[in-house]
Amino acid sequence: MDKIPKAPSVLKECAPCMYCQATRFEYEAEGFCCQKGQIRIATKPVPAELERLLTTKDEDAIHFRQYIRMYNNLFAFSSLGGKHDGRSVKGIYVFKLQGQLYHYVPDLTPDDGQPPKYLQLYFYDPQNEIASRAGVYDELRAYVVATLTHVVERIHIRNSSDL
Ligand SMILES: [Zn+2]
């Protein structure tokens, strides 16, 4: 019984990789991440609006990070499906699916009387795209959705020009 830990184990902080500045975990060898500087990951700059939402203490940035999963879901093309075991057991949260995992992809247009969702938001009534997205969850703010929509469009245009 004495072998059951009473407190969580916490890894010690380590200095970042001396070659690529990646954050390292305790016991991770120096240069493990980048083969001692031989591999460089190509990165693209984070758009300024998105960086502000992700890093500052502005009121709307704090709101964005609080509801970041909802904002992320707004831009998903599909929803996840499967036989989910939602029983709660003591201990850390574990998301369990049994059997086949599905991605539900809706038709391009919503059913009569239903609001657009998932990929329908990209194709259905684009003039009202931001209002439609913001209306999915009451907690979300239209101007944050507009900012994210603008960021996604700019990334898409930038990636298209790289081809
Ligand atoms: Zn490295």
Sign of CA dihedral 112, 117, 123, 124: positive
CA of 27 to the centre of ligand 1 (A): 14
Domain range enclosing 36: 1-43
Q: Mean pLDDT, to the nearest integer, of 86-92?
A: 76
What is the number of alpha carbons within 13 Å of residue 133 lying toward its C-beta? Answer: 26
CA of 21 to the centre of ligand 1 (A): 6
Task: Return the percentage of the chain with pLDDT > 70, whole number.
Answer: 97
Q: pLDDT (tens digit, 9 = 90+) per residue, 5-31? A: 888 888 899 999 999 999 999 989 888
Both 91 and 140 in one domain: the answer is: yes
Both 97 and 121 in one domain: the answer is: yes
CA of 43 to the centre of ligand 1 (A): 14
CA of 36 to the centre of ligand 1 (A): 6
Contact assessment for residue 121 and residue 133, using Cβ atoms and an 8 Å cutoff = yes
The pTM (predicted TM-score) of the whole model is 0.64
Both 26 and 75 in one domain: the answer is: no
Both 111 and 75 in one domain: the answer is: yes
